[in-house]
Structure 1
C-alpha cells in the first residue's frame, strides 16, 4: 500500500463520492507515474466507471470540457478535477484521433488503450496500485515501452512517436528494442500530424534534462526528417550532439539551431514550427546578440542593450559552441558587470526627449533619438554623470545638431 501525497489527498473526496455512488474510480496517468518516480506533480487525473451523465448527476458543479471523449471537469470545494470515464477507442482516423469512443466499465480495458506502460498504472484511493501491463517494472528498468504492439500504438496515434522521445528527454529512460524499431518504421506517419502538436512535444523535448539522448534517437530513427525546419537537418543535429547542450534551455536551443543551420530566413524557419510571434522575436534578438558576442567581448553598452537575461542566455550558448567548461564563472562575472552599470534601462536616465527640446529650444525630431542614445552611451561609459544638471550642461555646451538631422 502506498501513502498518498497531498495532491492525491485533496482529490480523494472526489474518488470517495464516486465510490459511494457505486462506481469505481482511480488516479491515473502522468501523476501516478511521476509520483512513483518521486517527481513533482502539479495536478491529478481521475478515471471512473461512471459515464459522463452519471458523473454530472453525482456532482452539482461540472464543466463539459471534453464530454464527447468522456471527460468532465468537476468543481468541488474550490478546486477542479478532470474526471474521465473508462473508455475504449477504435477506428482511428488521420493517425491521430479515434473514430469511435465507447464508454466501458473495465479499468483494465481503459488502461489497455494507453500509449506506454509507464502511463498505464492506476492508483486507488486506498493506495493500491493496479498495473496490468508491468508499468512499475518499466519504471524500475527505466524503459519506454508501448502497451501491446508498438506498431499498433503508433498507427493509432502517430504523435506517440514524439511522445516516446519526449519522455526520454524528460526521464532519461531508454526505449525498449521493439518500440525503438517501430519508431524507425513508423516515423513517416508524423507527416499526418499537425505541426502545432509536434511543436508542443518538441518544446518539452528541448526542455528536458536529457534532450541530448532524445535528439540522438530522433536522428537514429529518422524522426527528425519529419520536423518542419532547423532540427530537420541532419548536420545540425549531429553538430549539436557534439556540444554540451544539456546546459541550454528550450529557447537557447532554438537559437543554437538557427546558428548551426546558418539560417538565412530566421523568421520563416521558426514560423514553420508555428512558434508564438513573441518567442520568434526573442529568439531572433538573442541570435543577433550571439553573432555579436562571437566576435566581441561584452561592453557596458552591449550588456545594457541586451539586458541581463538575454546576455546570460547568449553567454551560455557562446560557451556551448566553444565547449568551454566555465559557464558558471562567466555568468557570475556577467552578473557583477551588469550590477555595476550606471543605468539598466532608459527610463533611469535623468533626461527625456521633451527636456532636450526645451533646453535647446528646438522642434522635436529624429535628432532627439540620436542625442538620447549618445547621452546613454556616455553615462554607461562613465563619461557623463546621470544627473539632470550635469546632462543639461553637456547638452548646452556641445555642438548643436543640424536642423537637417
Structure 2
C-alpha cells in the first residue's frame, strides 16, 4: 500500500526531533515553525524544516557539533545532523527600511511574540516536541476555511515588507486559497509600496505563483488590486494573461511579447539571466510559428531545434492542436551529431578548403534529413551534396 503524504510528512518532521530534544533538554524552548507546519496540516509535501527557539545563537552553536552561522546577526544558525535545519532565536523585528526588511532584530524569550510578527496566519503556527500545534492567530481555522489572512493589522504587515502582497497572491495560487477581504483591501491600499522591493525578490515570488495550482487567480488578484501597475514590464501591458494551468515565467513573459501586449524594452528591468532571456526569445519564435498553422516540414524543424518541453508549453498557451510530441518521436535524428557525416567528411569528399559554404551545407543536410527528403546514409548524403551544395 502506498504511504500517504501525511505519513511521509510525519517522518520528515521527526527528523527534526533530535534538534528539538537537545534544545529542550538544555532548558530552552524549541518548535518547528512556518511552512512545514502549514504543509503538514494541509497534507502537502514538506521541503525545509525551520526551527525557532528561545536559545540565543551562541547557545545554539554550543549545543551542536556542526553548525554554520548563516544569519547569526538575525538569530539564524544552520544545524547539521542527518539533515540540515535553520534554527532561529525567537525575535521581533526592529524598524523596517523602505518597506523591505528590518534594520535590526530583537531577541525575545516568548514564542507568541515571535509568531505574531509573521506574515500570514497560515504561516504563523508552531509544532512542539510532542507534535502539538501552537496557534495564537487562528491559522488552523484559516487553513480549514482556505483563507489567506494577514497576522494582526494587514496594512502594517504590508507596510513592513511590501513583498508580502506578492506572497499573498503566490499562496492563493499554490494552495488554491482565497485572500481574506480585509487583507485584500490592504493590498489595494499599499500596492504602490511594491516599487521599493528589489525586482529579483518580486520575480522569485511571481515565478512560484505561476507554478501554482491556480495561477489565474493569483494574477487576477495582483491585477485588480493594482500591484501589477507597479512592476516593470507588466505595468506596460494592455492586458494580462491569466493561465489556467502552471506555466514558467519565461513562457508567461513570452506570451505578452508575442501578443504585443507590453513593451519589450522593459525586459531588461526584470534583471533576468541570459538563459532566461534566450528562452523567452525562443518561446516567442515558437508561438509565432505555431500560430500560423505550420506545415509538416516546419513542425519537424521546430521540434528538432527547440526543447520539446518548451514547445509543449507554448502550444498550450497559444492553443495549437499540433501533436508536436508525436512529430518529435518520429524524427530520424535528434541533433546534428547524429548525422553520419560531418564537416571533415565533406571537405575530404569534395577536396576543397573549408569556408562559409560549410556552415550552410551542414544546415541544408540537417534540414533535408530531418524533413525526410534525405536518408541519413553516408553515400546518399555525399551524392546529394555533390548535386546541391554550392561552394
Give the deviation of 1:10 after TM superposition.
1.0
Could you tell me whether the CA contact under 8 Å between 2:361 and 2:389 is conserved in 1? no
- TM-score by structure 2 length? 0.93
Measure, in 2, the Cα distance between the counterparts of 1:103 and 1:264.
46
Could you tell me whether the CA contact under 8 Å between 1:26 and 1:122 is conserved in 2? yes
CA deviation profile, 1:307-338 (whole Å, cap 9, x unmatched): 4223222211221xx7xxxx6xx5xx322221
Could you tell me whether the CA contact under 8 Å between 2:123 and 2:139 is conserved in 1? yes
Match of 1:282 in 2: 279
Q: Which structure 1 residue ranges, 5 or more long, are not aligned?
A: none
Other structure's SS at 2:270 match: coil
Other structure's SS at 2:16 match: helix
Could you tell me whether the CA contact under 8 Å between 1:170 and 1:209 is conserved in 2? yes
Q: How many residues align?
A: 382
Measure, in 1, the Cα distance between the counterparts of 2:213 and 2:157.
26
Match of 2:98 in 1: 94
Measure, in 1, the Cα distance between the counterparts of 2:251 and 2:16.
37
Task: Show the 5 A alignment for 1:113-192.
Answer: 113-192=117-196
Q: 1:235 to 1:399 in 2, by over 3 A?
A: closer
Measure, in 2, the Cα distance between the counterparts of 1:54 and 1:222.
46
Mean alpha-carbon deviation: is it higher for 374-383 or for 179-188?
Answer: 374-383
Could you tell me whether the CA contact under 8 Å between 1:184 and 1:221 is conserved in 2? yes
Give the deviation of 1:395 after TM superposition.
2.3
Instruction: Say if 2:239 is the partner of 1:209.
Output: no
Choose the corresponding residue for 1:273, options 270, 275, 293.
270
Task: Tell me how large the CA RMSD over aligned residues is.
Answer: 1.8
Other structure's SS at 1:246 match: coil
- TM-score by structure 1 length? 0.90
Measure, in 1, the Cα distance between the counterparts of 2:305 and 2:191.
43
Give the deviation of 1:99 after TM superposition.
2.3
Other structure's SS at 1:235 match: coil
Choose the corresponding residue for 2:352, options 352, 356, 362.
362
Choose the corresponding residue for 2:363, options 346, 365, 373.
373
Could you tell me whether the CA contact under 8 Å between 1:290 and 1:314 is conserved in 2? yes
Give the deviation of 1:246 after TM superposition.
2.1
Measure, in 2, the Cα distance between the counterparts of 1:345 and 1:44.
43
Give the deviation of 1:377 after TM superposition.
1.8
Match of 1:347 in 2: 337
Give the deviation of 1:79 after TM superposition.
2.2
Q: 1:14 to 1:400 in 2, by over 3 A?
A: closer
Match of 2:47 in 1: 42
Match of 2:390 in 1: 401
CA deviation profile, 1:86-107 (whole Å, cap 9, x unmatched): 0011222111221231111100
Instruction: Say if 2:307 is the partner of 1:301.
Output: no
Match of 1:291 in 2: 288
CA deviation profile, 1:353-387 (whole Å, cap 9, x unmatched): 11111111111111011111111122123222101
Other structure's SS at 1:47 match: strand
Other structure's SS at 2:102 match: strand
Other structure's SS at 2:122 match: helix
Q: 1:264 to 1:136 in 2, by over 3 A?
A: closer
Measure, in 2, the Cα distance between the counterparts of 1:314 and 1:88.
45
Could you tell me whether the CA contact under 8 Å between 1:224 and 1:233 is conserved in 2? no
Other structure's SS at 1:295 match: coil
CA deviation profile, 1:196-254 (whole Å, cap 9, x unmatched): 1111111111121211111111111101111111x2245321xx24xx54253433222
Measure, in 1, the Cα distance between the counterparts of 2:388 and 2:212.
56
Task: Show the 5 A alignment for 1:238-249.
Answer: 240-241=241-242, 244-246=243-245, 248-249=247-248
Q: 1:264 to 1:343 in 2, by over 3 A?
A: farther
Measure, in 1, the Cα distance between the counterparts of 2:13 and 2:389.
71
Could you tell me whether the CA contact under 8 Å between 2:336 and 2:366 is conserved in 1? yes
Could you tell me whether the CA contact under 8 Å between 2:237 and 2:256 is conserved in 1? no
Instruction: Say if 2:43 is the partner of 1:54.
Output: no
Give the deviation of 1:58 after TM superposition.
0.6
Match of 2:312 in 1: 312
